[in-house]
Structure 1
């Protein structure tokens, strides 16, 4: 479709990327209007996980024909296709990438934009997370079918001339998620001729070795009939739920491990105490009433457990934190990879701004946290905040409220 050049913007003195469409526009006024309309639509679509459109233009090639070009930021990163070549991704990593891409598609679909070319080559892994490229060739939902797209990612209905629909992006995202999870695409065909020759009737392949919810969601995305596929918003909700459940499971397993280790240590201590007393190896008091000595010598099985537990709790009192400390803990959880790593950058920024207005560092702290709690609930309902992340942030809000009450 195009050639991408690294270029230098002489006006603003910055490095940029210039994408030149290799297909000549010739003198077809309709084609020129269509390409320009798509570029304008993409330029109006701003999302932190896609690329902004700086400019659009048309130029005369050395052969005398017209070619369109799009000017974009130049990003540093690794194509997702290169990462997949190294082998399948762990399912949480693949799900987190798909979640970010689904959020971009959800926002685009809400504006009537269909990407039409969601592929591993069009996803760039940057320091800020995955970025979906090539919204410059996006189309409006309902546009007539054309030959744009990458064959292995093309939905079956596009071969029948169906108009552009958000479901084609969902199918492509399903192909991409399957590829990330397995290291290979769900179907072997790679050319238009091979795809047109095959007629699939069996259910889409299912990814083994991943949570049931993730495997089912990926399989639904690959449904042959577009109406049977989930929407981008449903993908966001499903992946959020799966990642949240996995995160909570890790916390539970970690807690069980700690409790189990403490129980083993306590059992060993009691066993040594009992064995030592029976064998006379523990030091005995040198003086005291006979009844007191007898109480110290008799082994006790049930009471020490309660006694040790009570002593542990009493020796580890909760330290009251200040408002500043509680705010810092809230921000740390929000920025942590687990459990809030899949949260949109714009959501993180919004929550930080609301937090700052809620508890201004100069004090006094008179504003309540109700607004921030409402924000958290709204983001969860929108599918932009994982349940595990919400739980951790609410716990930190409890600390902030307690600190506010003390102040």
Structure 2
């Protein structure tokens, strides 16, 4: 394909302003949509489609499939097209929203990320890949250049040029993220995305990719027989997961779903550890303050109580009130609102996928509206399934189950 320049117009609509990023398969341009009068991002494929009609048909099919794939952490596809450029080349392009953010590659260039931050980014990306793989789509170019860090979290670019699982492999990809089996011409498989995510996780933690090769020629010349390198300074589970993602054989790599489960567990454990350390610090400070107070406080004689006098209760006032008056009953509507609040506004569930939130809310609505239903057993099974899939954090699962207990009590008042 001939080189595009600022000022070129694609399909008499998209005015190219300036290039934003260059990848192994494409160039991203900041562009102006002259029909809708808005700024957009246009990804122009670098491979020429001028003489290969079959390639054009395949790219068009992949773009249509990806356009139907919608995920909160994947960039939406506005448009796809092919056009003859001013210099006679045939350009295939994908139009996407222009988001404000920083490429992950720039963040890695500044130095390694804390392992918790790297794992959180990898977790969000693994969820996108898990959803894509479930639909038969393989990204094929998961790289630091294709991840945009936004105020709403990391976003994965380039699902607009994904492939169907089982398709013949091609030369799309960015060294050194290319899986070894691609050099042998193996069909497209979700394991190539897992390998690339392993490279990305390694790079985020260490500041460098696991292998030094940076071109197709260097990768083809490399003969790797030793086990993949292992990151250090991180929990054992994270180090083992990253190493297994880099396995030479695709069958030895975890699935995207297994990555989600592992990283969710690792981050949940880290969060518990931080809470314990914070609790110990606060408790230690409180004990020190109490010791100082007791040291300087002069003891007073204890009052002598007559047999007729009943000592005041040592329980807090709130507890005494609870003893003397029954608890205010919670209605089913209030209990349901509490469950919704945990899903939508609670801190422990803030990273839950929007489709999971909608699914759980719909199941709950069906339960409370069903006259024959007297408990939340069905929804509890649904929550357990989502947690097993890695789509609910352990803390979120625990909070939701507690809310379901409140709903059960409201549905069966004493």
SS in 1 for 2:176: helix
- Contact residue 43 and residue 93 of structure 2 kept, 8 A: yes
Match of 2:256 in 1: 232
Q: TM-score, normalised to structure 2's length? A: 0.79
Contact between 2:374 and 2:412, CA under 8 Å: does it hold in 1?
no
Q: Distance in 2 between matches of 1:358 and 1:250?
A: 37
Q: Is the 8 A contact 1:114 1:169 kept in 2?
A: yes
Looking at structure 2, the residues matched to 312 and 191 of structure 1 have their Cα atoms a distance apart, in angstroms, of 72
Equivalent in the alignment of 1:32 = 56
| One of 262, 282, 303 as aligned partner of 2:300 | 282
Q: TM-score if structure 1 supplies the norm length?
A: 0.80
Give the 3 Å change call, closer, same or farther, for CA 250–329 of structure 1 in structure 2.
farther
Q: Find 1:43's aligned residue among 67, 71, 84.
A: 67
Matches within 5 A, 1:120-199: 120-199=144-223
Q: Is the 8 A contact 2:343 2:357 kept in 1?
A: yes
Deviates more, 1:313-322 or 1:84-93: 313-322
Q: Does residue 19 of the first structure (1) align with residue 43 of the second (2)? A: yes
Larger Rg: 1
Distance 2:115 2:170 in 1: 34
d(CA) in 1 for partners of 2:253 and 2:411?
48
Give, in angstroms, the shift of residue 26 of structure 1.
1.5
Could you tell me how far apart the structure 2 residues matched to 1:152 and 1:173 are? 11
Residue in 1 that maps onto 2:388: 381
Secondary structure at the counterpart of residue 153 of structure 1:
coil
Higher fraction of helix: 1
Match in the other structure for 2:349: 340
Pairs aligned (count): 381
Post-superposition Cα deviations, 1:52-109, rounded to whole Å, max 9, x if no partner, equal 3232221112222322122223322221112222322222221121111111111222
Q: How many angstroms apart in 2 are the aligned matches of 1:326 and 1:260? A: 37
Gaps of 5+ in 2: 1-24, 308-312
Q: Are 2:142 and 2:196, in contact at CA under 8 Å, matched by a contact in 1?
A: yes
Residues 284 and 224 of structure 1, relative CA distance in 2, 3 Å threshold:
closer
* 1:346 counterpart SS class: helix
Structure-2 residue corresponding to 1:294: none
Q: Does the C-alpha gap of structure 1 residues 77 and 59 become closer, same or farther in structure 2, counting only changes over 3 Å? A: same
Does the 8 A contact of 1:247 with 1:388 survive in 2? no
Structure 1 residue ranges without an equivalent (≥5): 292-306, 361-365
1:70 aligns with 94
2:403 alignment partner, one of 386, 396, 400: 396
Deviations 1:213-258 (A, max 9, x none): 1111011001111111111111111112212222333344444555
Aligned to 2:141: 117
Q: Structure 1 residues 40, 185: CA separation in 2 closer, same or farther (over 3 Å shift)? A: same
The change in CA–CA distance for 1:326 and 1:84 in structure 2 (over 3 A counts) is farther
Deviations 1:98-152 (A, max 9, x none): 1111111112222222111000110112233221111122112222222111111
Distance 1:384 1:288 in 2: 61
